């Protein structure tokens, strides 16, 4: 208490000064028309600016949620488009009757490699989300790989950059189809085999999925032909395809559920067995 009195004796005039100055500023911005307008205006600008910045920041924090939401929406739209294109013509005018064959499920990549001879990805969706072995995985730029194994919360994917991933692909322009496989060197180039030599192959042609496998719907972008040659005495073109997907930059993917996969496989197995 004594210290407080001393403090006031010493700095009382300054404390009084500060209090009175604040009182003056209060008077100025409340009872002077011009100053009040300027004050109100500046305050508006300041608070407007501050709340805008704050909103920017909170938006940034919820970016991941927004992204997931958008990706989910995107998947639903793509799913509709794929199924719509597949459905027979007479059903097209009634959207409610669409006979859905494919469902898309968004997932985020948890881990990814591109520099090994056999590359894998891990996704944050698993059995609890309905993921099963042998489902295809695609991204907005093209195909990614095939689900190899699933656990409750995660799924392991054989990347397209895996030497035992074979994907049925076709040249969009001619419809000639072959098999896509990676030879394990450049993560941007895959080989397209089994295109017979009577087919014309042009550098720059688009390669899409054929839809003959059960993993992917037809017509999904894979890449473009980078180089082609026909070795003498060989029946097949040796085609190098530049992938449209940059595997190093993948973040968000979609898992393709083919609702008729089991049916198709069973039938194929049966025919083969006979």
Residues that bind another protein (CB under 8 A): 12-14, 16-17, 20-21, 23-28, 30-32, 34-35, 38-39
Distance of closest approach, residue 19 Cβ to another protein, in angstroms: 10
Question: What is the C-alpha separation between 142 and 246, in angstroms, rounded?
Answer: 9
Query: Which is closer to another protein, CB of 33 or CB of 198?
Result: 33
3-class DSSP state of 203: coil
Centroid of chain to Cα 266: 32
Distance of closest approach, residue 47 Cβ to another protein, in angstroms: 18
Distance of closest approach, residue 48 Cβ to another protein, in angstroms: 17
Question: What is the C-alpha separation between 256 and 259, in angstroms, rounded?
Answer: 9
**Residue 85 DSSP symbol:** H
- The answer to whether residues 254 and 139 touch, using CB atoms and an 8 Å cutoff, is yes
Query: Which is closer to another protein, CB of 14 or CB of 57?
Result: 14
3-class DSSP state of 93: coil
- The answer to whether residues 193 and 246 touch, using CB atoms and an 8 Å cutoff, is no
Question: What is the C-alpha separation between 252 and 138, in angstroms, rounded?
Answer: 9
The strand pairing partners of 151, in sequence order, are: none
Distance of closest approach, residue 42 Cβ to another protein, in angstroms: 8
Distances (CA, A) of 91 to 101, 151, 260: 14, 38, 18
Give the contacts of 189 (CB within 8 A, at least 6 positions apart).
Answer: 226, 240, 241, 242, 243
Distance of closest approach, residue 44 Cβ to another protein, in angstroms: 14
Distance of closest approach, residue 37 Cβ to another protein, in angstroms: 9
φ and ψ at 71, to 5 degrees? Answer: -65, -40
Query: Which is closer to another protein, CB of 7 or CB of 265?
Result: 7
Query: Which is closer to another protein, CB of 26 or CB of 212?
Result: 26
Query: Which is closer to another protein, CB of 30 or CB of 263?
Result: 30
Query: Which is closer to another protein, CB of 16 or CB of 202?
Result: 16
Distance of closest approach, residue 115 Cβ to another protein, in angstroms: 57
Query: Which is closer to another protein, CB of 17 or CB of 47?
Result: 17
Question: What is the C-alpha separation between 127 and 121, in angstroms, rounded?
Answer: 16
């Amino acid at each position: 208490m004594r210290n407080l009195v001393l403090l006031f004796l010493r700095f009382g005039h300054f404390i009084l000064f500060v209090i009175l100055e604040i009182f003056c500023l209060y008077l100025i911005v409340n009872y002077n028309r011009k100053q009040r307008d300027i004050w109100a205006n500046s305050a508006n600008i300041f608070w407007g600016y501050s709340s805008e910045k704050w909103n920017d920041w909170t938006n940034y924090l919820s970016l991941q949620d927004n992204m997931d939401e958008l990706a989910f929406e995107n998947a639903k739209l793509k799913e509709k488009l794929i199924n719509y294109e597949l459905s027979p013509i007479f059903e097209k005018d009634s959207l409610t009757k669409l006979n859905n064959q494919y469902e898309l499920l968004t997932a985020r990549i948890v881990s990814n490699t591109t520099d090994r001879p056999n590359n894998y990805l891990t996704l944050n969706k698993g059995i609890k989300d309905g993921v099963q072995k042998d489902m295809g995985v695609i991204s907005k730029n093209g195909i990614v790989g095939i689900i190899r194994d699933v656990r409750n919360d995660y799924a392991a994917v054989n990347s397209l950059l895996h030497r035992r991933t074979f994907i049925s692909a076709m040249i969009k322009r001619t419809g000639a189809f072959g098999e896509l496989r990676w030879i394990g060197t450049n993560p941007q180039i895959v080989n397209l085999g089994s295109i017979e030599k009577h087919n014309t192959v042009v550098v720059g042609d688009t390669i899409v999925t054929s839809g003959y496998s059960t993993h992917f719907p037809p017509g999904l972008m894979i890449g473009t032909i980078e180089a082609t040659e026909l070795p003498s005495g060989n029946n097949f073109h040796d085609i190098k395809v530049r992938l449209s997907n940059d595997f190093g930059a993948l973040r968000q993917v979609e898992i393709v559920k083919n609702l008729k996969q089991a049916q198709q496989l069973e039938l194929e197995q049966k025919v083969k067995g006979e």
